[in-house]
Structure 1
Amino acid sequence: MSAAFTTAPRGFLALELDGDGAHPASWRKARHAPAELLDGTRVRATVLAAESAGFHVATFADGSLPAASSEDGGRDIPGRLNALQRAAFAGPVTGSIVLVPEVDTVYTEPFHISTQLASLDYVSGGRAGWLVAASDKAADAAAVGRSHVSGEGLGREAADSVEVSRRLWDSWEDDAVIRDVTTGRYIDVDKLHYVDFESTVDFETTGSDRAGGAGYSVKGPSIIPRPLQGQLPVLVPAGLLNADQLSAGAADALLVSAPTPELLAGEAAEARAAAPGAAIIAELDVVLDSRGQSAAGRLAELDAHTPWQSSRARFVGSAAELTRLLASVLETADGVRLHPAVLDVDLEELAQLVLPALRRRGLLATPHPGSTFRDLLGLQRPDSRYAATPVSASSAADH
């Protein structure tokens, strides 16, 4: 459940590490062979480069990809590995960067989401988060044999999935694992709890956008101990959840976008008013001047193969101009997630010019090995909702 900030955190930067970059033709400018895109070595190299540059968070997109082609007869190369698997692979090889995979809430079983994300929190040492997605693609529904969900149903499914996951994370109390050699008990069964979750909507009776599909229930408890953070921070795109769902604490952070970079600060302010307990993260596509080539020229060259269509604000220009823009946005937002057009090219400019300039201005938090994602967001570690005596209360009583 979302909690109030314990301290006012300084700004942070997230970097999307999907594929070769956000532009559909980015593979043409990548500094590796196309076949290496789906290689573990590539995943390791990009996440370590982001961590070395000083990025606080790495995100991993997921979902089906269209087979786009260019008019000149060439083909763009869509391809990605599962986001959770990439994040789990990156966990043991990194030390400070937060790892946040995108996971769909509509066509993925909530119990599996909860346990896989909890496992990610363990392999990363408490540096895991969850970027909530809600697919509206009929093809995704058909792929798993479920009826299509759209409209308000997406938000309901997302809110239910988040809630049941939070309950499952809490279903093991923090001290449930006792490892009592004398009695041969590994866990104290009295500290494992049923969650008894029922989805909020029975689609069979509503006749809504998912007619013919029933609601679901989850008994619990989870099959693995409570995550290191207690609750993983949950990131949700603005607009997916309604005001009631946000006020109930479904999101720890909101991702906001805008038609232009100049409007980002205003969107961030509106999102903060709608969800005052959540961190605000602005979304920004980035194309930078690089090695003597202008950003506009680079973008035109890529668009000649396949035009870049994105709903996010887009910055096209120099590193110095981007630094000024980010400084302005961070006055309103807690963080910014950057989507580089070409990962190999734009990350180099970001690492050498943008992040150092922002650090000199004192605008960015300092990444620390051993800190958690909740630490970065300034969130307390919550007690399990099922604990008869909260750990924090018992610790205070001991002192």
Structure 2
Amino acid sequence: MSQPQLHLALEIGGATADTEIAAAAEAAGFALVTIADSPLAGDRIEAGVRAAHLARRTRRIGLGPNLHVTTTEPFHLATQLASLDHASLGRGAWVVGAESSPAAFATVGNPPLTGDDLRREIADVIDVTRQLWDSWEDDAIIRDTATGRFLDAGKVHHVNFTGERFSIVGPLITPRPPQGQLVVLGADTLGVTGRLDIALIDAPDPDPLRRRAQQARADGAPLVFADLTGNPAELLGLIDRVGGIVDGVRLRLTDPADFPRLAAALGREPVTGPALRDTLGLPRPANRFAAA
């Protein structure tokens, strides 16, 4: 029996010509591009801004900026990502970054976090972000010109979240994202796998990859992707080796100029979407406040 075709993701870095390679990845059948970033990157355009730029220059491919929970204010992070999903008409994603070096924390004047404290901070930011995305129900905006009412205030909710290092009352200043919840990706080593839509596993060898993929699914991740790095020939060989173990792969090219050769060898048709959740086969989540 043939295995289901793997979903493809491509990571692009700050030195890459984002618009050109994102358009090429879209034409080559990639489900999404992720946009690398670091608080220590120096002079660069932040990944969320680069994703917003790509939102109006692509049509089908998902866009996942790497935004760090350790150095980004949670309310602003949730708002920026919701805005990305609106701008892209439902193609937004979020790669959970957690750079935790003292130098990274120093960029925002906070003391470093490690161990359980760091894991708790990551979990708190993901939890409040998801709650904020739900703080507007889908039908909160009514645009009733006869009565002059723009929204139904009873369908806009305060989240009243208190974490270890921050608290947020809410609601978000942006209506609910078109996908309801953006697709959330993160490494299986963050300790928050059950909060992710896609667990990313950096293990190219089949045996450890299989063990970690099984654990990630047991922990609640709907999808598991292998993180693979190499040149086109190496990546094609790795893709063959991980087929049947994971649901997709995120590829990092050692030389981005090699992408046309990789795309031609893969021979994929463009994804149809229209939303990233549709492309990945993920259901649109119900709003937690509406359900209550």
TM-score (norm 2): 0.92
Distance 1:56 1:164 in 2: 26
| Aligned partners of 2:228 and 2:235 also within 8 Å | no
Distance 2:279 2:216 in 1: 18
| Aligned partners of 2:31 and 2:280 also within 8 Å | no
Distance 1:18 1:264 in 2: 27
Q: What is the correspondence of 1:1-399 to structure 2 with a 5 Å cutoff?
A: 10-20=5-15, 42-65=17-40, 80-199=44-163, 201=164, 215-241=165-191, 245-246=192-193, 249-258=194-203, 260-263=204-207, 265-288=209-232, 318=233, 322-344=235-257, 346-353=258-265, 355-356=266-267, 359=268, 367-368=271-272, 370-387=273-290
Identical-pair percentage: 42
- The one-character-per-residue Cα deviations of 1:119-159 (angstroms, maximum 9, x if unpaired) are 00011110111100111111121111111112222211111
RMSD between aligned alpha carbons?
2.2
Structure 1 stretches lacking a partner, 5+ long: 1-7, 21-36, 67-77, 202-214, 289-317, 360-364, 390-399
Distance 1:117 1:79 in 2: 22
CA shift, 1:280, in A, is 0.3
- The one-character-per-residue Cα deviations of 1:216-275 (angstroms, maximum 9, x if unpaired) are 21000110100000011111101111xxx54xx4111100012x5454642553344443
Distance 2:50 2:208 in 1: 30
- Rate the CA distance shift 1:145–1:47 in 2: closer, same or farther, 3 A: same
- Rate the CA distance shift 1:9–1:158 in 2: closer, same or farther, 3 A: farther
- The one-character-per-residue Cα deviations of 1:92-119 (angstroms, maximum 9, x if unpaired) are 1101111001110112111001010000
Letter of the 2:285 partner, please give it: P
SS at match of 2:66: strand
- Rate the CA distance shift 1:265–1:143 in 2: closer, same or farther, 3 A: closer
Size of the aligned set, in residue pairs, is 290
TM-score (norm 1): 0.68
Letter of the 2:170 partner, please give it: G
Larger radius of gyration: 1
SS at match of 2:288: coil
Structure 2 stretches lacking a partner, 5+ long: none
More strand by percentage:
2
Distance 1:286 1:267 in 2: 22
Distance 2:36 2:207 in 1: 24
| Aligned partners of 2:48 and 2:66 also within 8 Å | yes
- Rate the CA distance shift 1:388–1:270 in 2: closer, same or farther, 3 A: closer
CA shift, 1:384, in A, is 1.1
SS at match of 1:386: helix
Distance 1:268 1:90 in 2: 33
| Aligned partners of 2:91 and 2:276 also within 8 Å | yes
| Aligned partners of 1:268 and 1:281 also within 8 Å | no
